[in-house]
Amino acid sequence: MSLLLKNISLPLASFTLEASIEAHGRITAIFGPSGAGKTSLLDLIAGLRKAQSAFIKLGDRVLTDTANKICVPTHQRGIGYVSQDLALFPHLSVRQNLLYGAKINGAARPLFSFEHVTKVLEIESLIPRNVTELSGGEKQRVALARALLASPRLLLLDEPLGSLDAALKAKIIPYLTRIRDEFQVPMLCVTHDRFEALTLADEIVVLVSGKILQSGPVLNVFTRPADAEVARFVGIETLHPGRITSVSDGLAMVSIGNALLTALAPSVATREVFVCIRGEDVILQHEIAAASSVRNRLMARVVSFRTEGALVRVELDAGFPLFAFITRPALAELALREGSTITALIKAPAIHLVPR
């Protein structure tokens, strides 16, 4: 199911949202800083908002075409929406919430059965309860189930992990991937969290100040940002496949290239991972202090460096390609040149592991 967005012109607080997106993949993430117009874009797709100009086509059905004055009303679009505040109906029970959309679409073959959805999302025990008694994570799953039970052809998610703490995020991510795999409903997520985007998405659209800077398969965008602006927003200078060799006491040993790193164990048990290290989290040092809290001290050789404003982007070979951001005075102080050797220090919590 492909979603085609063309010629979107939507005036917002301080800029005009202009976009042309073609989303094919199963999960597409719209990634950008807050205030980029991401929620407005979702509202537009769902038909909750009108634009000066817009062309929206889902599959082979034109939903919005301002040039020809076509605008399918929201309730006929078949697009599910899980908003940031979840918007569960407080005056209805969990069961009534879940069945709200299902009842309307009537007996006409729902895409997914009530039993199936509640089982996959593990909310069977919540059904008789009151919406107001649920915890954050439970509400999220109920909101997801409610949207699914309305048989959507496309599911829109506004910051699905945004309001959750780290532990809860890790718990919800599997449910989202389950939705992708079990129910095969294409999803469009909006997020400002790069790791969320990396973990969930197949394709990514980078939206900054109302403009699409880059779009494509998620790894492409992260590893080969089109320009410095995208790179700044994407912000993961080192992105490299690795494998977890062992886990103990919440720490994981990761084999990457010729190196072995200590990182925090991911909550989801996994072997193959992407190792993500932000350039600003890498410290370069000549002398190694005797005892230090840093778990990862790598001998590295400078491959190249490039000045970017006040910072210098240093490419290193640490047994795998490693990038570091240091200041220009620091570069002078360390007297680094191509070929110099230096020790790279990376704290274990600064290494993010994203399941592959």
Partner 1 sequence: MTAEEWQIVWFTAWVSALSTVMILPFGLALAWALARHDWPGKSIVETLVALPLVMPPVATGLILLHLFGRRGALGSFLHDTLHFDVIFTWKAVLLALSVMSLPLLVRSTRVAFEEVNPRLEQIARTLGASQWRVLCTITIPLAARGIVAGMVLAFARALGEFGATIMIAGNIPGKTSTLSLAIYQNVQLGEDANAFRLLGVSVVLAFAAVWFSEFLLRRKRKPQ
Give the interface with partner 1 as residue ranges (CB under 8 A).
43, 46-48, 73-81, 83, 85, 87, 89-91, 100-101, 104-105, 132, 146-147, 150, 156
The least CB distance from residue 99 to partner 1, in Å, is 10
CB of 100 to partner 1, least distance (A): 5
**Does residue 155 contact residue 148 with C-beta atoms inside 8 Å?**
yes
Q: Which is closer to partner 1, CB of 69 or CB of 91?
A: 91
Q: In what order do the strands lie in the sheet with 272-277?
A: 259-264, 251-256, 238-248, 272-277, 351-355
User: Closest by alpha carbon to 82, among 159, 137, 18?
Assistant: 159
Give the C-alpha separation, 207 to 190, whole Å.
10
**Comparison of 91 and 306: residue with beta carbon closer to partner 1:** 91
- Residue 156 C-beta: closest distance to partner 1, Å: 8
Q: What are the distances in angstroms from CA 50 to CA 43, 90, 180?
A: 9, 28, 29
DSSP state, residue 224: S
273 near 289, Cβ under 8 Å? no
Instruction: Return the number of the residue (75 or 301) whose C-beta is nearest partner 1.
Output: 75
Shortest Å distance, C-beta 3 to partner 1: 15
Least CB distance to partner 1 at residue 205 (A): 21
Closer residue to partner 1 in complex, CB, 94/300 = 94
- Cβ nearer to partner 1, comparing 141 with 146: 146
Q: What span, in angstroms and rounded, lies between the C-alpha atoms of 300 and 298?
A: 6
The tokens describing 107, both together, are 């007996």
Backbone angles phi, psi at 48, to 5 degrees: -85, -5
Q: How far apart are CA 279 and CA 239, in angstroms?
A: 10
To partner 1, the closest distance from the beta carbon of 111 in angstroms equals 12
CB closer to partner 1 out of 72 and 253: 72
CB of 48 to partner 1, least distance (A): 5
Q: How far apart are CA 101 and CA 55, in angstroms?
A: 26
Q: How far apart are CA 49 and CA 66, in angstroms?
A: 12
Residue closer to partner 1, measured from CB, 104 or 166: 104
